[in-house]
């Protein structure tokens, strides 16, 4: 569903929740909501507050055990900032593919065997081994059976899986599996490139290493010409 002209606010997760609510109601209904009602809808519930408190306490414990004073200037609000950061970087746990697509599937007359390519989708994820970020781009192609999905939905699906504790191999497969399940295409292919800070900052300490993972479903498994066409169109 279109967002009826309402922009997605940047910032904390409460605004994200409010945006989700706004997407599900009509413009008239949204305009009828008064400021007090909007504020109530965006208030965090007790479970969310408790979860954030646990994270903040854990950060204070880490700071203390690495030899820092969590009460000194510069660190007093670090636990809250870290909790908010995790809300943003790990927001994918509170999302699902069906809600993201939100019936934005359209029947089209499209040539048999023709593909749709959405390339160079930026993402940020969190390595599950060291909880350090890795970043990169995802490139996706699918061959519609008789329906296509709204363009914005594919990057949102990438973000949903990326904003979880991940390894790049699983991230790639999850994107491919979700598109295959919900789009029912003749084929799907996903290529993910990633640069991992855990490899740059610790261990091997090598900068600029680019990891590439692929997932092929349906026609892309067996048809090398389709794969070559995807690589050419995506310019990867």
Q: Please state whether 109 falls in left (phi above 0), alpha (psi between -120 and 50) or beta.
A: beta
Same domain, 125 and 79: no
Same domain, 164 and 72: no
Structure confidence by residue, pLDDT tens digits, 126-146? 999 999 999 999 999 999 998
Same domain, 110 and 79: no
Higher-confidence residue of 18 and 32: namely 32
Structure confidence by residue, pLDDT tens digits, 9-20? 444 444 455 545
Same domain, 171 and 109: yes
Same domain, 121 and 205: yes
Higher-confidence residue of 13 and 222: namely 222
Domain coverage including residue 184:
105-234
Question: What positions carry a catalytic annotation?
Answer: 127-130, 168, 196, 198
Is 7 inside a domain boundary? no
Is 55 inside a domain boundary? yes
CATH number of the domain encompassing residue 116: 3.30.1130.10
Is 212 inside a domain boundary? yes
Is 37 inside a domain boundary? no
Residue 26 has pLDDT above 60, yes or no: no
Is 13 inside a domain boundary? no
Residue 24 has pLDDT above 70, yes or no: no
Residue 177 has, within 13 A of its CA and on its CB side, a CA count of: 7
CATH number of the domain encompassing residue 52: 1.10.286.10
Task: For residues 26-34, give the mean pLDDT.
Answer: 59
Bridge partners, residue 232, by sequence: none
Task: Residue 134: name the closest of 234, 209, 215 by CA.
Answer: 209
Same domain, 148 and 192: yes
pLDDT of res. 212: 98
Q: Residue 145 has what DSSP assignment?
A: S
Q: Structural domain tally of the chain?
A: 2
Beta-strand (E) ranges in the chain? Answer: 105-107, 116-127, 133-143, 147-149, 165-166, 187-196, 211-218
- Whether residue 104 contacts residue 1, with contact meaning beta carbons closer than 8 Å, is answered with yes
Structure confidence by residue, pLDDT tens digits, 33-77? 666 665 665 666 888 899 999 999 999 999 999 999 999 999 999
Tell me how far CA of residue 51 lies from CA of 86, 87, 99, 143, in angstroms. Answer: 11, 10, 24, 42
């Amino acid at each position: 569903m279109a967002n009826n002209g309402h922009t997605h606010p940047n910032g904390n997760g409460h605004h994200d929740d409010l945006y989700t609510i706004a997407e599900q109601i009509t413009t008239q209904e949204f305009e009828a909501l008064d400021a007090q009602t909007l504020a109530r809808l965006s208030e965090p519930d007790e479970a969310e507050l408790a979860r954030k408190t646990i994270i903040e306490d854990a950060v204070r414990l880490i700071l203390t055990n690495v030899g820092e004073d969590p009460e000194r200037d510069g660190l007093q609000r670090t636990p809250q900032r870290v909790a908010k950061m995790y809300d943003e970087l790990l927001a994918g746990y509170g999302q699902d593919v069906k809600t993201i697509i939100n019936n934005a599937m359209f029947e089209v007359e499209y040539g048999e065997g023709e593909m749709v390519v959405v390339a160079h989708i930026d993402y940020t994820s969190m390595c599950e081994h060291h909880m350090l970020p890795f970043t990169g781009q995802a490139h996706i192609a699918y061959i519609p059976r008789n329906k296509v999905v709204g363009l914005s939905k594919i990057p949102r699906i990438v973000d949903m899986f990326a904003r979880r504790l991940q390894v790049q191999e699983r991230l790639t497969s999850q994107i491919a599996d979700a598109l295959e399940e919900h789009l029912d295409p003749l084929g799907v292919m996903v290529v993910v490139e990633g640069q991992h800070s855990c490899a740059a900052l610790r261990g091997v300490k090598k900068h600029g290493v680019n990891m590439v993972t692929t997932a092929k479903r349906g026609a892309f498994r067996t048809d090398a010409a389709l794969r070559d066409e995807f690589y050419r169109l995506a310019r990867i």
